[in-house]
Amino acid sequence: MPTKKKDPLFRLVKTLTKPEKRHFRLYANRTMGDQQRKFMVLFDLLDKQESYDEKQILVKLPGKTTKGQLANLKRHLLKQLLTSLRLTYINKQIDIEIREQLDFARILYSKGLYMESLRLLERIKGIAIDHHQDILHLEIIEFQKLIESRHITRSRQVEKKMERLLEESTLRSRITQTASEMINLNIQIHGYYIVHGFATTPEEVQALNKAWRNMQPEHFNNRFADTFFEKTNRFQSYLWYRYIQLDFKGALSHAMEWVMLFQVHKSMQLKDPDLYMRSLYYLLVFLFLTDDAATYRRYLKELEKYVEDNYAQLNPNSQHVSFVYRGLSQINFLFLKKDYAGAFKFAQELAAELKHHQPLMDEHRVLLFYYKFAGAAFGNGAYEKALEYLHPILHQRDKPLRKDLEINARLLELLCLFETQEFDRMSYRLISFGRSVVKAKEVTALQREAHKMLRALIQLTPEDTQRFFKSQLKTFRKRLKEPRELLFLKYLNLLEWMEKKA
């Protein structure tokens, strides 16, 4: 039987495109001797397997190959694959190209050709500046300083050349440090949300503000960020800070600043496609939460056009990212319009495409897709299909799952069971859900009310349900102005379901 472990080399081979495989074969035939062709046999075996099967590989490799020899073989193949891929992407990813040129400059210097090395460094420094490669820019400057400090280069004959180099070094060091601190701030505030969740009480808001102050870089002194990446991380950190407080409009304003930054620096849309698509996705999330359908449509079209126009130029990772952000944004728009028939049809198309992207996707994103599919099916009255889509979420094991997603999925399951009149199963699942409601601090007041309502519903006769729903609607509507409850209802529109029943 094939082993279930995720072998890194096997995963890499399975991500290769046809052009990448062709390039590797050409590279291997050009660089490997006859004795090394055994690596190509291993490559072909891995390429043909559906799942990693080490025993089958050991049987099919020529000669009596031991596990130790196979491990060495795999290490060598991995190195050759990565070298081939580096050559493939050297003209597509600017940071790889700059690093290659920096390596060439070091080789020239080691040969004693330091003037030639300096000229090359000056040329690639301009490329690093144009592409906002701050860390590589600093590395280039530091290498220039090293050469200038050890050799007579005639640079001092150029008026103030050394002074300009030293000023540039000081400025670039400061920018690199600040950019790093902005990334730290972004990661820290996001991490605070993951650990603590939303700040809804005065005590929680006070704790958040204290943590936020402690996260600020000491030397920043409230100075607004200058460079592109300083700004992007600053905007993202403020976005999370506002979102934790359930300030959707505040978070929306920072998401808009983030997207507008890409409008100012249009070249960065292609230089960092993942970050650009991420900015559009989060802008769309907050437009969804604030019910701004007109603006949502405009920026969804921008995301769709960007992906369609540039898909062929995106690397495989960016193509996976585009699938996630575009797919989630498109189905959210259908929910925003309350087009459940369209959402259900689109969900079925997306589910087929998801299978191709799933192996390289974060597990939470995969389950989020399935929740969206279930919501679309439920809205369209396809309750059995909704239960089918919920299955991966409800029966996942030993996988990290955001608590709000789990709670909403379990509530949606109960609604589907009520609609299909599986009351015995519903009763059993209600008991299990009740235990979760008691333990979880993330549960909202309306989610608790929903649990009570569903427990009462299975005891009622059909004649009494309509009157019961009308009375429950009054309770639910009282909490409509609370941001935490509005967030819950955006992802599980229980109120709409109840109105249809009343």
* For the chain, domain boundaries: 8-89, 94-158
Is the Cβ–Cβ distance between 134 and 172 less than 8 Å?
A: yes
Q: What is the DSSP string of 40-76?
A: HHHHHHHHH-SS--HHHHHHHSSS---HHHHHHHHHH
Is the Cβ–Cβ distance between 409 and 374 less than 8 Å?
A: yes
pLDDT digits over 72-113, tens only? 889 888 888 988 888 887 767 788 888 889 999 999 888 888
Report d(CA 366, CA 221) in Å as an integer. Answer: 41
pLDDT digits over 310-328, tens only? 998 888 889 999 999 999 9
Report d(CA 122, CA 129) in Å as an integer. Answer: 11
Alpha-carbon dihedral sign for residues 364, 369, 370, 374? positive
pTM for the model stands at 0.82
pLDDT digits over 169-221, tens only? 888 888 888 888 888 999 999 999 988 889 988 999 999 999 999 998 765 55
pLDDT at position 247: 95
pLDDT digits over 362-413, tens only? 888 999 999 999 999 999 999 999 999 999 998 876 555 578 888 999 999 9
The owner of tokens 């941001």 is 483
pLDDT digits over 434-471, tens only? 887 777 777 888 999 999 999 999 888 878 888 898 88
- In this predicted structure, the answer to whether residue 4 has a pLDDT above a threshold of 70 is no
